[in-house]
Amino acid sequence: MKIKLVPLALCLGVSLTSHAAEFSLTSSDIADNRTLSRREVFNGFGCEGGNTSPELSWSNAPEGTKSFAVTVYDPDAPTGSGWWHWTVVNLPSSVRSLPRGVGAHLPVGAVQGRTDYGQPGFGGVCPPLGDTAHHYQFTVWALKVEKLPLDEQASGALVGYMLNANVLGKATITPTYARQ
């Protein structure tokens, strides 16, 4: 009886070619587990900061990406539901970065939803005085649709629902911040 040995990679269905690079988010302003600067701190609610969004850049979007979204979320906020600091949807698939303080200069068609401060736009960090450091999730979302049917009154919860229903991939940077 002759036994043929089939290469293990073929038996397991493993590709021997290199894998596509992973969808990633980078920034010249923020990094994982690094304390945010005063520039990203809200100016109000007892906080004094620049209330400026950081520079964000992303690469290696999943195949089929038709648009992007960016969110900033604090899961540590003492609300029972976290805190939405920024939601931006309907960024064209050709966009691969947002400059620091992009605000009103977003690409045509992009929409900023309402933050938990009650208005659209970037709302900087402002955890309660004396809390342990909060984790701020800056996330870029690759979406399978060109546009989400949302406007500047869309709540963070509604934006989050629509993003999760249409996501192809996401990449996150999680810096921290505490007020003493």
pLDDT surpassing 50 at residue 101: yes
Residues 6+ apart with CB under 8 A from 73: 82, 83, 84, 85, 136, 137, 139, 156, 160
pTM: 0.89
Q: Which two tokens stand for residue 75?
A: 């899961």
Q: pLDDT of 43-65, one tens digit each?
A: 999 999 999 999 999 999 999 99
pLDDT of residue 14: 41
Residue 180 binned pLDDT confidence (cut-offs 50, 70, 90): confident
Ranges assigned E (strand) in 20-146: 24-26, 56-59, 67-74, 83-92, 97-98, 111-112, 134-135, 137-143
Report the residue count for the chain: 180
pLDDT surpassing 70 at residue 11: no
Q: How far apart are CA 154 and CA 41, in angstroms?
A: 23
> Cβ-count burial of 176 within 10 angstroms (0-12 exposed, 13-18 middle, 19+ buried)?
middle
What mean pLDDT is predicted for residues 142-166? 98
pLDDT of residue 80: 94
Domains of the chain: 21-177 (3.90.280.10)
pLDDT of residue 104: 85
